[in-house]
């Protein structure tokens, strides 16, 4: 990735530092206000064009993005590639014992549309990766053929592990080191620092990450 592209991505990601509860259930010290990402679509569209160029060699037949903000980026990438677009929605899973007990599902009307297709999963930011992991699992349940994960920004190492475990390629325009912890391992909890509040429900883009 070029340094100019990296800087363009970071410039669109207003960051806050503190002690945050992420949607994945992890704690972290970085929060990105991704609700603002598509407030001005043109800069995001230009980045989506660059991401589409990275995904084109994978012979993508359709693009799928997790709601909310990730699906907006995925729609732009699909338009650039000239392929169909689909999305996944988040649903609570009361039977799961995972840290973040939710599933991501392709809507019923779209499930037949992704069957047998080479799919790129596109997100805005991947941190813990709950949205991408859930989307990957449900696409496989739809008998789709995920071939790549594309994102504007990767935080930390979870995205690489998800891609490796799923046997798909990872394409990103920017990456940053980042720390996340389970609540039991969180050093800020150990120091009794309060969790930040009033910042909205979707830190680090997760329901899309």
Residue 201 has pLDDT above 50, yes or no: no
Over the stretch 38-96, which tens digit does the pLDDT of each residue have?
989 999 999 999 999 999 999 999 999 999 889 999 999 999 999 999 999 998 776 66
Query: How would residue 14 be classed by pLDDT, with cut points 50, 70 and 90?
Result: confident
Q: What is the spatial distance between Cα 149 and Cα 155, in angstroms, rounded to a whole number?
A: 14
10-27: buried (b, 16+ CB within 10 Å) or exposed (e) per residue?
A: eebbeeeeebbbbbbbbb
Task: List the chain domain ranges.
Answer: 3-205
Over the stretch 151-190, which tens digit does the pLDDT of each residue have?
999 999 999 999 999 999 999 999 999 888 999 999 999 9
Sheet architecture: strand order including 27-32: 15-21, 27-32, 180-181
Q: What is the spatial distance between Cα 59 and Cα 76, in angstroms, rounded to a whole number?
A: 17
Over the stretch 98-130, which tens digit does the pLDDT of each residue have?
666 678 999 999 999 999 999 999 999 999 898
* The predicted structure's pLDDT at residue 207: 36
Which of 1.25.40.10, 3.40.50.2020, 1.10.760.10, 3.40.50.1860 is the CATH number of 3-205?
3.40.50.2020
Pairing of the two strands 85-92 and 62-66: parallel
Residue 136, preceding peptide bond in cis (omega within 30° of 0)? no
Query: How would residue 202 be classed by pLDDT, with cut points 50, 70 and 90?
Result: very low
Q: What is the spatial distance between Cα 138 and Cα 128, in angstroms, rounded to a whole number?
A: 18
- Residues whose CB falls within 8 Å of the CB of residue 91, separated by 6 or more in sequence, listed in order: 102, 103, 104, 105
Residues forming a β-bridge with 148: 120, 169
Query: How would residue 208 be classed by pLDDT, with cut points 50, 70 and 90?
Result: very low
Residue 200 has pLDDT above 60, yes or no: no
Candidates 183, 192, 190; CA nearest to 128 is 183
């Amino acid at each position: 990735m070029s340094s100019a592209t990296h800087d363009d991505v970071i410039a669109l990601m207003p960051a806050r530092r503190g002690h945050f509860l992420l949607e994945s259930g992890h704690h972290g010290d970085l929060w990105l206000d991704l609700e603002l990402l598509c407030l001005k679509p043109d800069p995001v569209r230009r980045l989506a064009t660059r991401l589409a160029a990275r995904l084109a060699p994978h012979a993508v037949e359709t693009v799928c993005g997790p709601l909310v903000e990730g699906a907006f980026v995925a729609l732009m990438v699909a338009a650039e590639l000239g392929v169909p677009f689909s999305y996944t929605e988040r649903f609570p899973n009361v039977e799961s014992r995972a840290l973040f007990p939710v599933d991501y599902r392709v809507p019923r009307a779209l499930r037949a549309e992704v069957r047998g297709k080479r799919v790129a999963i596109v997100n805005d930011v991947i941190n813990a990766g709950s949205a991408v992991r859930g989307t990957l699992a449900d696409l496989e349940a739809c008998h789709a053929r995920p071939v790549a994960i594309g994102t504007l920004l990767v935080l930390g190492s979870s995205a690489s592990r998800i891609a490796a475990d799923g046997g798909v390629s990872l394409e990103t325009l920017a990456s940053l080191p980042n720390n996340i912890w389970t609540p039991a391992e969180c050093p800020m909890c150990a120091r009794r620092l309060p969790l930040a509040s009033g910042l909205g429900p979707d830190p680090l883009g997760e329901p899309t990450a």
